[in-house]
Amino acid sequence: MLSVAEALAQILHEARVAAPVERPLKDSLLHVLAAEVRSDSDSPPFDKALMDGYAVIAADLRPGGTRLEVIEEVTAGVVPQRLVESGKATRIMTGAPLPEGADAVIKVEETEIDGDPREVRILADSALPGQNLIRRGTNKRAGEIVVEAGTLLRAPELAALAEMGCHEVRIFPQPRVAVLATGDELVPIHSQPQPGQIRNSNETMLCAQIRQVGAIPVPLGIARDERSELAARIDAGLAADVLLLSGGVSAGVLDLVPSELQRAGVEQVFHKVNVKPGKPLWFGVLHQDERSKLVFGLPGNPVSSMVCFELFVRPALRRLLGVSSDEPRTLTARLTHSHSHSDDRPTYFPAAIDQTDDGLSVSLMNWHGSSDLQSTVGANGMVAFPPEPVEYAAGDPVSVIRWSSESS
């Protein structure tokens, strides 16, 4: 049976990014930039006051206070007209350009006006050149890279691009990911299940996971365990870039998914991975045009589906999205409690990972196995246990993987 690493390598081998497109910046959140963007100007574009106060020549200040003639008032958006010479000052507001000649800004709290606003008393004994101002180009010089190609665009990157007037960007289109739940026992989540039935929670879960990666979920509802219905729904799902099925990939008499996928032209790459939960995972490819479509048959048990998504689907979607650097996925954390683990398969155990002063800590959820969604409420990752019996003491280091979150 394939290992997790071998299975992932086979998936990533098939995952290729689509051709980039031009989009308005405002529509490009959680897309990946396809071409680097360079600044069109210096940032800030002029020497700028960082405080409300007075622009002065620092060397003018004397201990015990200094009287200066106020020659002008500049507010943000206004260009100063007058040179600040020795003995003079300009009233200036935050964000306004620094007048020529001045080399420091004294904040208004350190000044006093004695009736006549044309004269200011600076109370500070001294000032340093450059105080309370930022020089043109300190943050970025014209022509420098603002955002590298392959970067996932979040609010900070969008803002930096907006600052540079980049209102159209070249990005990779987000893959559309169809989600098809299979199973005679499933009912929609708004229904009252009859005896033997359960709600289709996997659709909600997988669509949320897809969205968190930055791809577009296309929920297709429930297909019965019946060949013609499954075939029709699979055909509809293959219109998307990626098709995720849940259920029907084990060895039960109604596990029709692998054979129906193959009948639809999807070539099996592998079936079954040495992992717990998630062993029945099926993966195949529909070769079409220059880009193949990826098809995952996820095990129906909710936690198996969830874990398989994190281990296998998420990295594939990130590759399709065009993310260039893959984030470090496996981290080390210390167990908060002792735990005795024994399994002959590598096991991914739902857990709550926390940042502490001493690095990461991890608490195992009270997990009852692959159908136990309840124990995943509040979990933010999983511990990767090796396939051997180990007695862990509290404080022992273990490997952990964080789950998707919007900002990663």
Binding site for ligand AMP (CB under 6 A): 181, 183, 185-186, 198, 200-202, 246-250, 252, 299-302, 371
CB 166, min distance to ligand AMP, A: 42
Shortest Cβ distance from residue 6 to ligand AMP (Å)? 22
Looking at beta carbons, which residue is closest to ligand AMP? Answer: 300
Residue 58's Cβ-side half-sphere holds a number of Cα atoms within 13 Å equal to 11
Say whether residue 302 binds Mg ion (CB under 5 A).
no
Taking the complex as a whole, the smallest distance from the CB of residue 301 to Mg ion amounts, in Å, to 10
Partner that binds at residue 181, options Mg ion, ligand AMP, none, CB closer than 5 to 8 Å by kind: ligand AMP
299 lies in the binding site for Mg ion (CB under 5 A): no
Residue 246 binds which entry of Mg ion, ligand AMP, none, with Cβ cut-offs from 5 to 8 Å by kind?
A: ligand AMP
SS (H, E, C) 128-172: CCCCCEECCCCCECCCCEEECCCCECCHHHHHHHHHCCCCEEEEE
Q: Please choose, out of 26-34, 216-224, 231-239, 295-303, the segment that lies near Mg ion by the rule CB under 5 A.
A: 295-303
Question: Whose CA is closest to 307, among 331, 273, 339?
Answer: 273
Residue with tokens 């996971």: 209
Q: Does 247 bind Mg ion (CB under 5 A)?
A: yes
User: Least distance from C-beta 225 to Mg ion, angstroms?
Assistant: 6
**What is the C-alpha to C-alpha distance for residues 289 and 315, in angstroms, rounded to an integer?**
23
Q: Give whichever of 20 and 280 is closer to ligand AMP, judged by the CB atom.
A: 280
Pairing assessment for the beta strands 267-271 and 390-392 based on DSSP bridges? unpaired
Can you tell me the distance from the alpha carbon of 355 to that of 362, in angstroms, rounded to the nearest whole number?
Answer: 9
175 binds Mg ion (CB under 5 A): no
183 binds Mg ion (CB under 5 A): yes
Task: Please classify residue 242 by burial: count the beta carbons closer than 10 Å to its beta carbon, then call 0-12 exposed, 13-18 middle and 19+ buried.
Answer: buried
**Which residue type occupies 5?**
A
Regarding 258 and contact with Mg ion (CB under 5 A), the answer is no
DSSP state for residue 312 in the 8-state scheme: I
Select 244 or 316, whichever has its Cβ closest to Mg ion. 244
Residues lying near Mg ion in the complex (CB under 5 A) are found at 183, 247-248, 300
